[in-house]
């Protein structure tokens, strides 16, 4: 059995605009999805998801999510989870040139599903890595990130960006602009995450921004403005000491840009009352900045605060189901127990 894990992520800046070729800076966090893969003698795939924000399920099938027995969880949740597993298995088979390879797969995750923290990307990255290694055909990180992106692109009907999968593969902070993806240096940013317990519909939210952008010139200008925020944030990060605790002035400057970014995302209609409430609770508690992270519509916000004040405030904020500190994950996908 081969076991690999990959981290989730938060967006420091740039979600949604990255779909249109603007830069984005996501950062990996130490919340991980862990996938184990054991080759089988047949071509079946048996998946056990003991967490994944579902009630837990086990399913065996022969090559597609439509060919499986009924399981005791809501169908949309099974289809969402299994769609990514299907795509990861196809990519692993192709990478290893083993089109009929079967697997027993177990998935565990500390990352809420659909909350904007990159749960699907982490599962796909860890899954492809575990499956190819289990077949004796490990692939390098650049190919892994590319194959994971292709898997997400397929499941998300062509609306995925490379940001989530590249960040989960490489760890740390990364810069993504179109197909150009590179790790960048970053200090040890004091992330605090608030989760409203919900999840937005990524496809619907992306489509909504696309419609606004096509109809209104000012919406297109808003998307470009998000890109400008990202570029200014990159300039600030370039002057920071990698891996060190950041100075207060840097946190204040980055936080101000995060506030701008949230306002621009709100103008594009992708925030939600719960997210806005958590953002303002974090700011009122003294966070240097706070914004939604991910597609929006529900899910998570991320704030910068080295103290305990923001986490405490969020934990008492109506509509916030969970609040936690999130260390920067300097290591991306890795083999566990090696």
- For residue 172 the two structure tokens come to 């740390």
3-state secondary structure of 28: strand
Cβ-based neighbour number of residue 32 at 10 Å = 24
Q: Which residue out of 86, 146, 164, 196 is catalytically annotated? A: 164
Question: Does the annotation count 322 as an active-site position?
Answer: no
- SS3 state at 151: helix
Alpha carbon distances (Å) from 133 to 8, 85, 93, 211, 311: 21, 16, 11, 42, 39
Contact call for residues 29 and 8 (beta carbons, < 8 A)? yes
Angle at 223 (CA atoms; ends 220, 227), nearest 5 degrees: 135
* Residue that has been written with the tokens 């299994």 in this structure: 82
Q: Please give the structure tokens belonging to residue 138.
A: 């490990």
Distance (Å, rounded) from C-alpha 171 to C-alpha 179?
18
Q: Give me the torsion for CA of 51, 56, 60, 65, rounded to 10°.
A: -80
On the CB side of 328, CA atoms within 13 Å amount to 23
Cα separation values, 189 from 28, 300, 323, Å: 11, 17, 17
Rounded Cα–Cα distance for residues 242 and 254 (Å): 15
277: tokens are: 């409430």
- Catalytic residues, by residue number, are 164
């Amino acid at each position: 059995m081969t076991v690999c894990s990959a981290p989730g992520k938060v967006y420091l800046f740039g979600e949604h605009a990255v779909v249109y070729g603007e830069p984005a800076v996501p950062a990996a966090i130490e919340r991980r999805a862990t996938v184990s893969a054991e080759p089988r003698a047949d071509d079946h795939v048996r998946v056990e998801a003991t967490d994944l924000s579902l009630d837990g399920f086990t399913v065996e099938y022969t090559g597609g999510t439509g060919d499986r027995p009924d399981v005791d969880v809501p169908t949309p949740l099974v289809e969402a989870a299994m769609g990514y597993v299907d795509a990861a298995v196809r990519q692993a088979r192709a990478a290893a040139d083993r089109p009929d390879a079967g697997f027993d797969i177990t998935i565990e995750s500390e990352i809420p599903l659909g909350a904007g923290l990159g749960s699907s990307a982490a599962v796909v990255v860890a899954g492809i890595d575990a499956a190819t290694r289990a077949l004796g055909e490990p692939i390098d990180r650049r190919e892994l990130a590319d194959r994971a992106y292709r898997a997400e692109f397929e499941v998300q009907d062509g609306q995925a960006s490379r940001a989530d999968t590249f960040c989960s593969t490489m760890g740390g902070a990364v810069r993504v602009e179109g197909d150009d993806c590179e790790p960048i240096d970053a200090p040890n940013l004091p992330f605090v995450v608030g989760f409203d317990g919900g999840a937005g519909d990524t496809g619907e939210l992306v489509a909504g921004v696309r419609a606004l952008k096509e109809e209104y010139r000012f919406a297109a200008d808003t998307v470009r403005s998000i890109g400008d925020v990202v570029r200014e944030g990159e300039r600030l990060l370039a002057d920071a000491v990698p891996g060190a605790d950041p100075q207060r002035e840097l946190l204040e400057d980055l936080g101000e840009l995060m506030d701008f970014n949230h306002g621009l995302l709100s103008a594009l209609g992708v925030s939600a009352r719960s997210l806005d409430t958590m953002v303002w609770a974090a700011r009122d508690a003294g966070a240097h900045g706070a914004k939604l992270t991910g597609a929006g519509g529900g899910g998570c916000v991320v704030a910068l605060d080295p103290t305990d004040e923001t986490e405490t405030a969020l934990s008492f904020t109506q509509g916030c189901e969970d609040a936690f500190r999130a260390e920067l994950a300097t290591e991306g996908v890795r083999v566990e127990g090696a």
